[in-house]
Amino acid sequence: MLIAGDSSAAGVGAPTQEEAFARPLARAVAARIAGAVSWQLAARAGLTSAALLEYLRSTPVEPADLAVVVIGVNDITHEVPQPLALRQRLHIVHWLQAHRGVQHVVFPALPDMGRFPALPQPLSWYAGLHARRANRAQARWAARHAHVSHVAMDGVTDARLFSEDGFHPAPALYARVVHRLAEHISAHMSAQMSEHMSEHLAALAPDGAAQAETPGRRVRAVRATSEALRSAPVRPTAT
């Protein structure tokens, strides 16, 4: 799993990576799938979507099955038009697929910027409005593209759970985001595993009629496949 993005992906606001974003997310996904998750972090403070693409191109990033891309706040603070920001994110998706073998890219929704303690009124109102618009646009965009998903963060942001700078999450807020993302990623992986198992069972059965006539055969095949899955290293695989 690759975690890429801006300062929030990097864990700014938490004292250590143990309490930040990337390591807890890998740990939470591993717990839900009851298997090992290898992970890497490629993040830097201040990146816009366009800057993240250039950063990934110039950074030694290992191949990955799944990527979590945390980006967008700096697009708003730099007043990047939303259609342009989404085009840049699509370029990120295509680059990750073509050059690092990533099969699925997860984009968390932007936080409710209207709740950032560091932003005074009317700036917080303005930022919050644009963050909500950006989230709606990203959700529609993700729905149109295969191998991309948008994860809503409604109800996650809490002004009491920010770090001292009033702009980045404190560990408690990172934990909320991690929980939401881990649930989404593990559900996606379970769906993909079920699909792969169905394809495997279809390959085992010579035809649908024979499988229907011998239901015990399908049960034995499921058990055999489950045993094989339990005996193999589990890593995020998604399409």
pLDDT score of 235:
44
pLDDT score of 158:
95
Burial of 72 per CB tally in 10 Å (0-12, 13-18, 19+): buried
Greater confidence (207 vs 191) lies with 191
pLDDT score of 205:
59
How many CB atoms within 10 Å of residue 163?
18
Dihedral of CA 45/62/82/13: which sign? negative
Q: Binning pLDDT at 50, 70 and 90, where does residue 57 land?
A: very high
- Indicate whether this model's pTM tops 0.85: no
Q: Binning pLDDT at 50, 70 and 90, where does residue 195 land?
A: low
Question: If you search the block for the tokens 């770090």, which residue do you land on?
Answer: 163
234: tokens are 């589990």
The rounded distance, in Å, linking the Cα atoms of 200 and 213 is: 19
Looking at the DSSP bridge assignments, the partners of residue 169 are 162
Rounded mean pLDDT, 103-112: 97
Query: What percentage of the chain carries pLDDT values higher than 90?
Result: 77
Q: Binning pLDDT at 50, 70 and 90, where does residue 194 land?
A: low
pLDDT score of 180:
97
Among the listed residues 78, 70, 68, 49, the one whose alpha carbon sits nearest the alpha carbon of residue 5:
70
Rounded mean pLDDT, 12-35: 96
pLDDT score of 189:
86
| 128-187 pLDDT, tens digit each | 999 999 999 999 999 999 999 999 999 999 999 999 999 999 999 999 999 999 999 999
Q: Binning pLDDT at 50, 70 and 90, where does residue 202 land?
A: low
The rounded distance, in Å, linking the Cα atoms of 75 and 134 is: 10
| 212-234 pLDDT, tens digit each | 333 333 323 223 323 333 333 43
Rounded mean pLDDT, 95-117: 97
Q: Binning pLDDT at 50, 70 and 90, where does residue 191 land?
A: confident
